[in-house]
Amino acid sequence: MGRNGPCGLSLWAHNPPMGSKDGPKAQPIHLPNELLLWIVSYLDGSALFALAKSCKDLDFRLQPSIWKYNIKFQNSNLLHLAVKYDNVGLAEVLLRHNANINAFYRGKTPLMRALKFSSAAVRDLLLNCRDLDINIQNQARESALWYAIHYGTFSTVKRVLEQPNVQVDIKHKYGRTALHLAVFAGRIGLVHLLLSRGSDPDLQDDSGHSPWDWACRFNRPVMEMIFSNDPMAEVFLGTQSSQEAELPLHHAVSYGSVDVVKRLLGQKGLSLDIQNRNGYTPLHLAIRNKRLEMVNLLLSHPRANVNCKDKNGNTPLWLSTYSSCDEITERLLAEKDINVNFVGGRGRFETLSTSLHHAAARLDTVLLRRLLAVPGISLNLCVGGHSPFSVAAYHGRMNTVACLLSVQGVEINGMDVIDPPICRAVAHGHLDVVRLLVQQDARLNINESTIATHDTALCIAAACGELEMVQALLSHNRIDVNLRNQCSEDPLMLAFGKIPASNKERLHPEGHWKQNGRCQHSAKIAEAVSGEKVWWSGRAGDIYFG
């Protein structure tokens, strides 16, 4: 039990004499506030909480000390929460109560978290604290400078480097300094900034390579200019001899650095057709990264070649339509020298194709209509075993098929060059496309057969057991039901050629019923093809016509 004295807190100590049978006798102990706070300052967490529980008055007096203890030693993750949500007010209060500014939570200090989440206001607050350890590293050997390089802007890195005790060449994972990281990231401005702050370009990492070594290996044209302090270095022009490196223009285009690209395009002797070590020109890189602004900048150069080729021999327009970059495609088509009929698809791509083939495979007709409006477009160019119309039929694109059918000059037959589009549509079960083609009447060669097996569309439908497909084909007034394939099989024979029951059906108790069902279905197809009544005798296993 306790009571308040005039200048502190009175506690009752219980000290029963040895061997006494009487109850313990209470003796008061007076603790001034100053002495109480002095004792508290030397207690650990468990002792502090145990002391607080011994008396309600004591607990009340110790609450501020407990809160401060929590903030300083146990609960600095509140500071991390303030950082994550950029709550400056909460961060200021916590720091005023001695929150540990260097405490780790899930592998990050508050400053590291501020740099990662771009919490600018709290970041500046933390950087102004006296107790900040700017060089502290986590178990992954990441420092605040590491986070600034990876997640921050130029001004953020500059702000970190302005710290009085910052170690500009502190080694991170694999023994790499901030200059190593800037070289790997290709951030020209950061390389220049770090060098101006005294970073050593010859300091080696764990593999024995310095930033200069890595620059010569990967980013030579960019970094030689920086390291030599020669802004007009000849290597900066992207000459053919520097293809093994990441060229400056290629790098600037990939990262969307508009100002850098503008400056580079002003250099004399610049070649826009040079491929980088991955085999791409600047224009191809702009398309791969879907950067319309970069495409506009590059095409504005008088030496721009809109039909330049990458390592696979593909042009920018081919790559743009293949990647469905419609805005960039529109910009490329505005060039008067554009080769709209270029055949690409070499390299890692499976089949040859043109931009019109790409458009025919799409669900919408936006790109298709735009390409059809280009003068000189080849409507029936057959590459890779397909014409644009054949591609649309193969994929079952009803809108595309209808759009192409409305264009004068589009060939809808195979012409003994490719498999007929009607056969491709039947083989892939596109009934709506088949019906649309059958409506073309004399324009469609309904009896045309495939190149390899000489199967007509009716043969394919009958062999697949597609009754509705057979009925749709038979509605054409020029259909010949007696044409045979290379195996001398006609549609009627093919209708019954696929009905033998599998071993599983023979063993199954209901196998006989399943077999009969399939045969009845085939009988309906045969009836449609022959025009005669067809019966199937399940008991005798015979077929009857007439």
DSSP 394-462: HHT-HHHHHHHHTSTT---S-TTTS--HHHHHHHTT-HHHHHHHHTTGGGS-TT-B-TTT--BHHHHHH
Is 543 strand, coil or helix? strand
More confident residue, 255 or 522: 255
**Cα–Cα distance measured from residue 421 to residue 434, given in angstroms and rounded to the nearest whole number:** 9
- The answer to whether residue 51 is domain-embedded is yes
Between 451 and 543, the more confident residue is 451
Range 35-55 average pLDDT:
61
pLDDT, residue 54, reads: 65
- Per the domain annotation, does 429 fall within a domain? no
Q: For residue 202, what pLDDT band results from cuts at 50, 70 and 90?
A: confident
Cα 7 to Cα 5: distance, rounded to the nearest angstrom: 6
- Across 25-34, 123-132, 428-437, 479-488, least confident range: 25-34
Token pair for residue 495? 């209708």
In-domain check, residue 12: yes
pLDDT tens digits for 95-138?
Answer: 887 778 888 888 889 899 888 887 788 888 999 988 899 999 99
Yes or no: say if 11 and 2 are a contact pair by the CB < 8 Å rule.
yes
Most confidently predicted of 273-287, 488-502, 521-535: 273-287
pLDDT tens per residue, range 383-431: 988 999 999 999 999 999 999 999 999 999 998 889 999 999 999 999 9
Place of tokens 């060039």: 335
Residue 120 CA, chain-centre distance (Å), reads 28
pLDDT of residue 87: 83
Between residues 61 and 358, the one the model is more confident about? 358
Q: Report CA-CA distances (Å) from 249 to 222, 315, 446.
A: 9, 19, 55
**Is residue 322 in some structural domain?**
no
* Total number of domains in the chain: 1
Mean pLDDT, range 361-380, rounded to an integer? 94
Q: Which region among 105-109, 142-146, 174-178, 400-404 has the lowest average model confidence (pLDDT)?
A: 105-109
Domain for residue 46, yes or no? yes
pLDDT at 355 over 70: yes
The count of other CB atoms within 10 Å of the CB of residue 378 is 13
d(CA 360, CA 367) in angstroms, rounded, equals 9
| Phi-psi map region of 459: left, alpha, beta (phi>0 left; psi -120 to 50 alpha) | alpha
Q: pTM, whole model, 2 decimals?
A: 0.55
User: Averaged over 317-342, what is the pLDDT?
Assistant: 94
Percent of the chain with pLDDT over 90: 40
Of the candidates 68, 85, 64, the residue with the CA atom closest to the CA atom of residue 76: 68
Query: Does residue 11 sit within a domain?
Result: yes
Residue 502 lies in a domain: no
Domain boundaries, position 8: 2-74
Enumerate helices (H) and strands (E) in the chain, giving the number of each: 30, 5
Residue at 48 is within a domain? yes
Q: What is the pLDDT of residue 322?
A: 93
Q: How far apart are CA 23 and CA 20, in angstroms?
A: 8
Q: Across all residues in the chain, what is the average pLDDT?
A: 78
pLDDT at 509 over 50: no
